[in-house]
Amino acid sequence: MASRTPNRPPIGRNNTPRLSPAAYLNSKLDDIRTTHGVPALAAVLVRDGGDTVIGLAVGQRRSDLAATLSANVVQQSDRFCIGSVSKPFTGYLMARLVQQRSDFAWTTRIRDVFPEMTSEAFRTRYRIRESYLDKTLEQLMSHSADLPYAPVNGFEMTVNRTALSDAFRTEYATADSLAVRRYNYVVTSLQDEPVPSPGSSIVYGGGCIIAAAMAERLTGKSYEQLMQDEVFTPLGMSRSGVGRLATNSTPDGVWEHNSNPSTGVITPDAAAIELVENFHSHGPAGAVHTTHADMARFITANLSESGKPKSVVNDATLRQSHERPDAGESTFTRAGWERTGSGTSFCVKHNGDNCRSRAELRVFPGQNHGYAAMTNVSNGCADGTHIGAQAVADTLSLLKQMHDDWNTLF
């Protein structure tokens, strides 16, 4: 991805040739990848409200194949899974629908969208707690609804999708099955006791999955289709989607990897290329994938103070989405971002980890810039060195340094 910057003499303070931002990022990014031993690493920096964009992906798609194999060399169009960074992507869709529809607002309640759940007979049959029905879209997205992430009776958290028999496996990988399972997530989430009890701290959970199901009910479209129609296509994010990154062993895209911190062994996860990965009901919370170029478009679309016109979500709605509905209760915003800082230096951010990929995104709307890093390896919750998290953290530090020292470096 090329840099769009003003012309300046290519000479540094000591009469040495200046590196271009792209060349500088290429050199540093590959050093970080090699230092931490991650297969692939991607980074993107957006400055000046989107007028300057530097992005790059380096490394190999599979760690167990030769780095020189042409099919194994990472391409700039390769997608990375962003894990829970999917949540603010889902939040952007919610902002789009809030802006578009008269029957959908940040204060829309579960009961408003699923009227069948207000029936005493329905609640009794499915053991739904009535108090949950008053939870609003903004509470669901900001993790302040006291709902559990993994319902006790939930199907998706316990089933081994790749071990399903042929008939069940075929049925699982269908849009109809996905719609049923996502609705089932809503029902089973409303059965469990609040965690913690109302009035205490936030519970980081799957509220965005319920929000996605609400959008599905109102629009008659799946979450996956809504993301394509309302977010990815209008923003020009042609390589973004929900689900698997590659489809075969050749490979034809980035493979995700498991890292064992005890042994240092990195293993490509063949389960991640299965078709069923495109049909997980928890997709709104962790299965979005994107490229560094598409991530740049998403960052630019969230720069509410750039003064540039927005074609999808306008600045006024963006500002709502970047605000906390209740600053005393949650550090998360209406659109699922974590918000830190104050004044024009505030940051909306999120990290993501699905136990085989790692990503982090940071956007500074008041300062008109943002950056992100992604890699295709994780050790999940295992104790010990997390090479994916370390590589992403070092990449974020690099991008921050490039932004802060731009005029000196380039």
- Single out the residue of 101, 95, 185 nearest to residue 149, CA to CA: 185
CATH classification at residue 367? 3.40.710.10
Residue 314 lies in a domain: yes
Tell me the DSSP string of 296-312. HHHHHHT-TTS----SS
Residue 81's pLDDT is 98
pLDDT given at position 196: 67
Work out how many domains the chain is built from and give that number: 1
User: What is the number of alpha carbons within 13 Å of residue 76 lying toward its C-beta?
Assistant: 10
Which among 86, 88, 82, 47 has a CA at the least distance from the CA of 338?
88
Q: How far apart are CA 110 and CA 325, in angstroms?
A: 17
* Residue at 396 is within a domain: yes
**Considering the entire predicted model, what is its pTM?**
0.94
pLDDT score of 2: 46
Ranges of the chain with pLDDT below 70: 1-17, 196-201
311 belongs to a structural domain? yes
Burial class (CB in 10 A: 0-12, 13-18, 19+), 321: buried
d(CA 63, CA 40): 9
Question: CA 132 to CA 128: how far, in whole Å?
Answer: 8
pLDDT given for residue 200 in this prediction: 53
Q: Are 285 and 90 in contact (CB under 8 A)?
A: yes
- Omega before 251 cis (within 30°)? yes
Task: Supply the pLDDT for residue 9.
Answer: 46
Name the residue range of residue 248's domain: 21-409
| 266/212 Cα distance (integer angstroms) | 34
Element (H, E) at 328: none
237 in a domain, yes or no?
A: yes
10 assigned to some structural domain: no
- Please tell me the distance from the alpha carbon of residue 384 to that of residue 175, in angstroms, as a whole number: 39
Does the residue 107 lie in any domain?
Answer: yes
16 falls within a domain: no
> What pLDDT is attached to residue 6?
46
Helix, coil or strand: residue 152: coil
Q: Is residue 45 part of a domain?
A: yes
| 299-356 per-position pLDDT tens digit | 999 999 999 999 999 999 999 999 999 877 779 999 999 999 999 999 999 999 999 9
Q: Which of 87, 80, 88 is nearest to 44 (CA)?
A: 80
CA distance 240 to 228: 8
Q: Which residue has tokens 């969208």?
A: 113
